[in-house]
Chains A and B, each alone.
Chain A
Amino acid sequence: MYPIWFQKRPLFTVLSALTIFLLFFSVSAFAQDNSQIDTTIAVDTTLAEIRIVPPSSVEVSDVGNDAGGSIDIHWQLSPEDQNGGPVISYSVLRAESVDGTLGDFTEIGSVPAGASTYADGNTVDGLKYVYKVAATAASGAVFESGDSIPVSSSAQWFDMRRINVFVGVLLVAGFIVYYIRQAKAGKELFIRKIAGLDAVDEAVGRATEMGKKIFYVPGTQDMDNVQTIAGVTILGRVAEMAAQYETWLEVPVSRSLVLVTAKEMVKEAYSKAGRPDAYHEDQVHYLTDDQFGYAAGVDGMVVREKPATIFYMGAFYAESLILAETGNSIGAIQIAGTGMPSQLPFFVAACDYTLIGEELFAASAYLSREPKQLGSLKGQDMGKAVILIALIVGLLLETFGIWNFSTLFSVIE
């Protein structure tokens, strides 16, 4: 199915394509035009009672790092523009320039006295425009600056302000890919003990001994949440164990997309465990999209059917407490995992084991012990190591006033 080069080295192919693509665009990003010129010609001041020296040095430039369609205009204030002075506002005039011939100037906007910039957000890319700025006096008389040089707006292919994010993502992605390759090559990767995950086996086993059900709640968010994806992945492992132990696993879900995915997942797991016959269509079923409708539904099922083991893995909101407390009250073994900080205290309190934040994402690697998964976990750890080092170095540099290190991480322009 895949081209041969992709089959052989998929990671390498995708990443190198990505790099080439981005390099190309970052080069073209430097090719943006940035023009400015000083033109000061006083015009049309004859009839005015008070003469105002018009604004000068109208500089125009394409707005950088954008999708095009806008031009920045900047000018020197009229010397008379002081508090209580005669200038009340500036209006910005624009004309199209086609092959060197200027069209008519029309006013495109105005700003109050004291302001020296205007952003024209309504240009057509590629067309050349000439701007001038006029100071308006209280009497209504208008004093215009000279024309700017022609300028056109354009869209850029790379947002230079985001280069640090780009480098960061590339670094972390690089680590992950590197360690995945290492792991595939057979290198042993250590992973520390995670108590909550060691308990999964025991929890499934207990349900089997007691002859009771296992409930699995993959969070209440949709498939567009990465935590849900993590939850569904862990569901696969749990389903496999349940199939081996021949224990009834029930998965109530609250989103239709999750229903579709979870069904596939469980079905697959059963056939992987060699028990495709044991899989039942109704094991995974939909209740309602509504948070509390769902919580109430699951609650009712838990109280009536008294499962021996309940898993909560995924993204949760307020329903976490209802679920965990009810499960606790019937004495089920509960293992929870979520990246929702506000729900963690309840899971920590009411469940036997809780995967805190990032541990949820580590779970699928931990349970499967697949080299690829372990490798990505190691790569993720290296990302953390870089952050830890950056924290130490940065704190030292900044505390002793050597260098403002944190600007490296600045995202806002």
Chain B
Amino acid sequence: MEHFAIWVAAFLTMGIISFLYKDNAWYKLSEAIFVGISAGYWFVTLFWDNIYGKFWVGRGDDAMLYIGAFLGLLMLMRLVPKVGWISRWPLAFIVGATAGFYLINYFSSNVMRQVEDTIMPLLGTDYSATTYDMIGNIVIAVGTFSGLVYFFFSKEHKGVFGGTAKVGIFFLMITFGASFGYTVMSRMSLLIGRLDFLFGDWLGMIK
């Protein structure tokens, strides 16, 4: 069984990799298995964790969970064409709660905190900063400022304003470049992990 299992894993791994050569039957088979298995995986997991774990055994004496179950039932009403419109209610509920929650969360963490951290004594407290820090602080202040100017929609990007926006887009591009570099790093690591499985765990060729 142990041998069978690792060969199955290797077979499927190679199946996905074979897509690099071209779209072929081996890949399509692996892909179909993947779509089926992953849909089923989430289906089962969500049932046991959320419906069973959270509601069926987990509700305790918290009557509020019945509201959740009720919303869930309304959602399933979509299966009955005549009353399908009622599934808009739970949807409205979720969207409303998300909107409220995100409004506050993003405002406090991403606006307030980030503005707080951008506002700093550029030369250090009591002019204590080293040249390295000083340049860095100025770069951050200028970059954040001009980046925000780029996102200004209700004013034409011309003149000084346009120039600032241009500087902003430069900063955004550097950010994307850095992000790109890190993504390459990440993806290569994952490939290394997979090839380590093939050559190491499966075939035992790595010392």
A–B in direct contact per CB < 8 Å: yes
B103 at the interface (CB under 8 A from A): yes
Indicate whether A344 sits within 8 Å of B39 (C-beta atoms), given known contacts A300-B28, A391-B145. Answer: no
Give Cα A304 to B115, complex, Å. 48
Indicate whether A300 sits within 8 Å of B23 (C-beta atoms), given known contacts A192-B153, A288-B39, A398-B121. Answer: yes
How many whole Å from A99's CB to the nearest CB in chain B? 32
Give Cα A356 to B151, complex, Å. 9
Give Cα A189 to B153, complex, Å. 10
**What band does the interface of chain A fall in when counting residues whose beta carbon is under 8 Å from B?**
35 or more
Consensus secondary structure, chain B interface? helix
Q: Is the CB of A399 within 8 A of B123?
A: yes
Q: Is the CB of B98 within 8 A of A401?
A: no
A107 at the interface (CB under 8 A from B): no
Indicate whether A346 sits within 8 Å of B151 (C-beta atoms), given known contacts A395-B119, A409-B112. Answer: no
B-contact bits for A393-412, CB 8 A (1 contact / 0 none): 01100110100011111110
Stretch in A32-40, A41-49, A290-298 with 4+ CB within 8 Å of B: A290-298
What residues of B have a CB within 8 angstroms of the CB of A127 in the complex?
A: none
Q: Is the CB of B179 within 8 A of A190?
A: no
Stretch in A60-68, A137-145, A357-365 with 4+ CB within 8 Å of B: A357-365
How many whole Å from B22's CB to the nearest CB in chain A? 9
Stretch in A70-78, A200-208, A224-232 with 4+ CB within 8 Å of B: A224-232
Indicate whether A257 sits within 8 Å of B94 (C-beta atoms), given known contacts A190-B155, A192-B155. Answer: yes
B2 at the interface (CB under 8 A from A): no
The contact of B179 among A261, A341, A388, A395, by CB within 8 Å, is A341
Interface residues in A345-396 (C-beta closer than 8 Å to B): 345-346, 348-349, 356-359, 362, 377-378, 380-381, 384-385, 387-388, 390-392, 394-395
Stretch in A2-10, A163-171, A243-251 with 4+ CB within 8 Å of B: A163-171
A130 at the interface (CB under 8 A from B): no
Q: Is the CB of A391 within 8 A of B119?
A: yes
B50 at the interface (CB under 8 A from A): no
The contact of A293 among B35, B104, B109, by CB within 8 Å, is B35
Q: Is the CB of A409 within 8 A of B116?
A: yes
Q: Is the CB of A348 within 8 A of B39?
A: no
A119 at the interface (CB under 8 A from B): no
What residues of B have a CB within 8 angstroms of the CB of A162 in the complex?
A: 108
B-contact bits for A89-115, CB 8 A (1 contact / 0 none): 000000000000000000000000000
A-contact bits for B8-31, CB 8 A (1 contact / 0 none): 000000001000000100001001
B141 at the interface (CB under 8 A from A): yes
Q: Is the CB of B151 within 8 A of A387?
A: no
Q: Is the CB of A225 within 8 A of B120?
A: no
Give Cα A378 to B23, complex, Å. 48
Q: Is the CB of B148 within 8 A of A378?
A: no
Q: Is the CB of A390 within 8 A of B115?
A: yes
Give Cα A348 to B173, complex, Å. 9
The contact of B108 among A165, A287, A297, by CB within 8 Å, is A165
Give Cα A358 to B153, complex, Å. 10
User: Which of B34, B103, B115, B182 gathers most chain A CB within 10 Å?
Assistant: B115
What residues of A have a CB within 8 angstroms of the CB of B39 in the complex?
A: 287-290, 293
Give Cα A344 to B91, complex, Å. 29
B59 at the interface (CB under 8 A from A): no
Give Cα A362 to B141, complex, Å. 25
Give Cα A293 to B12, complex, Å. 13
Q: Is the CB of A384 within 8 A of B104?
A: no
In the complex, besides A190-B155, A411-B112, 11 extra interface pairs with C-beta distance below 8 angstroms are A165-B112, A288-B39, A297-B35, A346-B183, A359-B151, A385-B152, A392-B145, A399-B121, A406-B120, A409-B116, A411-B113
User: Which residues from chain A sit less than 8 Å from chain B, CB to CB?
Assistant: 162, 164-165, 168-169, 172, 189-192, 194, 223-226, 229, 257, 260-261, 264, 287-290, 292-293, 296-297, 300, 303-304, 321, 341-342, 344-346, 348-349, 356-359, 362, 377-378, 380-381, 384-385, 387-388, 390-392, 394-395, 398-399, 401, 405-411
A-B contact pairs, 23 of them (CB 8 A): A165-B108, A168-B111, A190-B155, A192-B154, A229-B99, A257-B94, A260-B78, A260-B91, A261-B91, A264-B88, A287-B39, A288-B38, A289-B42, A296-B16, A296-B31, A358-B151, A387-B111, A387-B148, A388-B148, A390-B119, A395-B118, A395-B141, A401-B121
